[in-house]
Amino acid sequence: MATIEEADIRNKPKLYLILLLGLALLLASSTISCGQNPRYIYENGAVVVRGDGEPIELINNPNAINPTYAELVAFIKEDSTDEHPYTNGSFFPVSLLYVCSDFAEDVHNNAEAAGIRAAWVGIDFEGNDDGHALNAFETTDKGLVYIDCTGREFFPSLRKYNATSWDKVAYVEVGKEYGVIDIAKAKSPSYSFYEEYKQKWQEYEELLTDFNDEVIQFNQEVNKYGKLLNEYNDEVAEYNNEYSEYKRCMALGGPWREAADASAIGFFIQYGRTFEAEREYLEKQGSALKEWREELRDCEAKLEEKGEIVNQLGEELGDFWFEPLGIVREAQIHW
């Protein structure tokens, strides 16, 4: 499991001034009630547009109502807006540009069409001219919930994780970092949950690193043990063969005893120990190897227990997490 880096390119919803011809129209544009399309989003006298340069158009449903959090999650998971590829850059025709403002517009309109009251949200970050767009919903049980469905290609590093959904719960507080969590892992929309989730990810990464290091060290010990065990077994087999031949010659008696003595002398010359001393040596080696084996088994059991904890935490957190986009300077909600 790894930290996901954001795409290098961020798209701020573009602001295009509407130039009105004629003195009468120009004067009318200076008043709030005249010259504005109620479906458009205006910020500082400018209309916010989609990636293709056309105004974002919020189509509200007068019969739409605030959902429960469970109803909202069910709708977002069913909605396919997040599956649309994020396309931005000079190598795309303008007509094919589809950026965060487009995602937020489509989620808004789809939700309203489904009878769910929705908002389009524009965010500005401190020290950064690039902004971001997402959605907000006033749930009946958990209050205001932010949803970010900006999808494929906005997070290119997710390709290696075979991500199939880009639906995320967003966490927005002015003066704090903008964070998102996979909607399947977001148990709460509160900012404190996001902070706790981020802390758990940091702990998880540390636990996982330590666990993997311990596994590598354990495997090295197992390999070392296996090598010494094989050498020990070869030495035991050699001893048994030599000693069996010695006893056979001794049992035959007569001139065979000379062969037995020669065998004993040869063994002593080769190993530096008599048969009796070699047997004592092998018995000590065998006991030491058994103790080592038990230590390895205890270590294996502890690693399995630790691995279970790591796996459970990983299951709770998911396969990846998203780096924050920046510190929120301002958030404007448009219903």
List, run by run, the mean pLDDT of 10-residue segments along the chain (335 residues). 32 31 23 67 87 93 97 97 83 79 97 98 92 97 96 57 79 96 94 95 93 96 94 84 66 57 59 68 88 95 94 88 88 95
Residue type (1 letter), 30: S
| β-bridge mates for residue 190, sequence order | none
Neighbours of 269 (CB within 10 A): 8
Tens-place pLDDT, residues 217-234: 999 999 999 999 999 898
Looking at residue 171, its pLDDT comes to: 97
| Distance of alpha carbon 171 from alpha carbon 121, whole angstroms | 12
The b/e string for 308-333 (b: 16+ C-beta within 10 A; e otherwise) is eebeebeeebbbbbbebbbebeebee
Looking at residue 1, its pLDDT comes to: 35
Residue carrying the six token digits 């790591």: 310
Q: Identify the sign of the CA torsion 191, 179, 184, 80.
A: positive
| Distance of alpha carbon 190 from alpha carbon 269, whole angstroms | 79
Looking at residue 129, its pLDDT comes to: 84
Looking at residue 51, its pLDDT comes to: 85
Which are the contacts of 31, defined by CB distance < 8 A and separation ≥ 6? none
Query: How big is the chain, counted in residues?
Result: 335
Give, as one character, the DSSP assignment of residue 95.
Answer: G
228 three-state secondary structure: helix
Run of H or E residues at 144: strand 143-148
8 Å CB contact between 112 and 61: yes
| Distance of alpha carbon 205 from alpha carbon 192, whole angstroms | 20
Domain boundaries of the chain, sorted by first residue: 2-185+319-334, 206-317
Tens-place pLDDT, residues 22-53: 222 222 222 233 468 889 998 878 899 888 88
230 three-state secondary structure: helix
The b/e string for 162-175 (b: 16+ C-beta within 10 A; e otherwise) is ebeebbbbbbbeee
For residue 199, what are its two tokens? 């802390």
Looking at residue 221, its pLDDT comes to: 95
Q: Identify the sign of the CA torsion 75, 77, 83, 87.
A: positive
| β-bridge mates for residue 170, sequence order | 146, 180
Q: What is the DSSP string of 153-222?
A: TTSGGGGGGT-----EEEE--TTSB-EEEETTT----SHHHHHHHHHHHHHHHHHHHHHHHHHHHHHHHH
Looking at residue 302, its pLDDT comes to: 94
> The pTM is what?
0.71
Looking at residue 279, its pLDDT comes to: 76
| Distance of alpha carbon 150 from alpha carbon 170, whole angstroms | 11
8 Å CB contact between 87 and 98: yes
